[in-house]
């Protein structure tokens, strides 16, 4: 009777812990979606900040290391110390959410066995009776067959496989030879046949962590291997070659049915730039540091691949030539001088709108597409003379002011609200 009661108590405690973990993950997701996504992407895929779900971690991927990174931040690289803004339990919620979204291989190691030949089936080769000539960690954590510097060898890659969601998966591979490769998940060998250098294996996997092992004996001149774990909504690279191949693919984004606002690092624009795209395929950039419309291009929006694959060290690439760009663009001036700008927020309700103050006076800047022209409307509390400095290549007109050279002078009667058209 006592034993049954103890089992019941343990079961209840375990159930409560699981429930608490789920609640913690929900709370963490809420904070992430409101703050972290701007730099790390809505799906943790990376943007100006690092990818937070793959096998490449710069500052450590243990819960303790992730928490320390969030708490201390890296102010010199643009990441704030969130330990000054959130309580310890809130930061732990963020960590739990990030951990719950991990996928792919971790803690990968290699063992190289020189002189191993493919003169018998690979399942007849007893690696356990051999001593590896070389071994070590694989960083980043992707299966890699090109580590050895000799022609005749066998290699074993070992690590952990994190499955992000329960479901039916397909392991898809490509290799130059038709035999002498084995893959084990949780000690069970996957059965597949290689045909025309390709193979696949279908399996059902539950969300969780599995042991992963790959054994290989070189036959072909080249040891390149593509290996991905796939299901609808997921394409997880497991090999270094697959990872590099995905890095070289474009990740194109753009507005479909309504305007799209993205805060990304963009090639040729300041690091804090906020970019806006319209379904009409016209785009502009706003600099929150000085209230400037500092970029404009017509055509496709952005390729995020350089930014994501460069771990935030490279900018996303505009998909057509910018008509103007830089630190300065269409700049608001008060009585001929650049005002002190304090950025407040942007809104996606209705038209994309940026709110800031200029010398303490509120300014709302909204924009709409008119064909492939952009109509910018300023609503202000400014009482002084408003002028807009214009880039030399910008085609600007306004019925509420006068354009002379590179300056638009707003009629003082229109200070409260005036518009300008930025032509294609």
Answer yes or no: is pLDDT of 84 > 50: yes
Which among 221, 219, 177 is positioned nearest to 197, based on CA atoms?
177
Say if CB 226 and CB 210 are below 8 A apart: no
CB 118 within 8 A of CB 219: yes
Statement: residue 302 has pLDDT above 80: yes
CA nearest to 240, candidates 51, 50, 55, 47: 55
Which tens digits make up the pLDDT trace of 52-77?
Answer: 988 888 888 889 999 999 999 987 77
pLDDT cut 90: percent of the chain above it: 72
| Cβ(294)–Cβ(326) below 8 Å | yes
Structure tokens at 22: 């789920």
**How confident is the model over 267-286, as a mean pLDDT?**
93
H or E, element range at 305: helix 305-309
**CA angle (346, 51, 174) in 5-degree steps:** 135
| Cα atoms in the 13 Å half-sphere on the side-chain side of 156 | 20
Answer whether residue 48 shows pLDDT above 70: no
Q: Which of 106, 97, 232 is nearest to 162 (CA)?
A: 106
Could you tell me which residues come within 8 angstroms of residue 413 by beta carbon, excluding any fewer than 6 positions away? none
Question: Which of 240, 110, 227 is CA-nearest to residue 173?
Answer: 227
Write the pLDDT tens digit of every residue in 225-265: 999 999 998 999 999 999 988 777 787 889 999 999 988 78
Residue 3 banded pLDDT, cuts 50, 70, 90: very low
């Amino acid at each position: 009777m006592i034993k049954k009661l103890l089992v019941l108590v343990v079961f209840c405690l375990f159930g409560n812990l699981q429930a608490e973990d789920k609640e913690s993950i929900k709370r963490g997701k809420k904070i992430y979606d409101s703050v972290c996504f701007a730099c790390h992407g809505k799906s943790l895929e990376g943007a100006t900040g690092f990818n937070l779900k793959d096998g490449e971690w710069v500052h450590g991927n243990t819960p303790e290391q992730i928490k320390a990174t969030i708490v201390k931040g890296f102010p010199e690289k643009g990441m704030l110390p969130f330990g000054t803004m959130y309580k310890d339990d809130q930061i732990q919620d963020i960590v739990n959410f990030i951990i719950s979204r991990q996928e792919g291989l971790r803690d990968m190691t290699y063992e190289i066995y020189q002189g191993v030949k493919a003169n018998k089936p690979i399942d007849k080769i007893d690696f356990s009776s051999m001593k590896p000539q070389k071994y070590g960690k694989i960083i980043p954590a992707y299966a890699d067959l090109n580590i050895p510097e000799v022609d005749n060898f066998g290699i074993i890659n070992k690590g952990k496989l994190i499955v992000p969601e329960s479901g039916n998966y397909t392991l898809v591979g490509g290799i130059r030879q038709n035999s002498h490769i084995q893959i084990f998940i949780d000690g069970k060998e996957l059965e597949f046949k290689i045909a025309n250098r390709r193979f696949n294996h279908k399996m059902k996997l539950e969300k969780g962590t599995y042991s992963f092992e790959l054994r290989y004996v070189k036959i072909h001149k080249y040891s390149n291997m593509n290996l991905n774990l796939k299901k609808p909504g997921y394409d997880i690279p497991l090999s270094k070659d697959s990872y590099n191949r995905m890095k070289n693919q474009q990740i194109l984004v753009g507005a479909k049915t309504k305007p799209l606002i993205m805060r990304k690092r963009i090639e040729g624009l300041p690091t804090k730039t906020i970019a806006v795209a319209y379904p009409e395929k016209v785009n502009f950039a706003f600099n929150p540091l000085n209230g400037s419309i500092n970029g404009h291009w017509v055509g496709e929006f952005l390729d995020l691949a350089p930014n994501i694959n460069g771990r935030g060290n490279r900018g996303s690439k505009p998909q057509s030539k910018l008509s103007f760009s830089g630190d300065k663009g269409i700049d608001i001036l008060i009585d001929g001088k650049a005002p002190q700008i304090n950025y407040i927020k942007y809104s996606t309700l209705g038209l994309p709108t940026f709110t800031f103050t200029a010398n303490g006076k509120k300014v709302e800047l909204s924009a709409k597409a008119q064909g492939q022209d952009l109509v910018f409307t300023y609503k202000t509390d400014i009482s002084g003379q408003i002028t807009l400095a214009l880039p030399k290549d910008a085609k600007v007109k306004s019925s509420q002011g006068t354009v002379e050279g590179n300056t638009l002078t707003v009629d003082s009667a229109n200070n409260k609200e005036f518009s300008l058209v930025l032509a294609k």
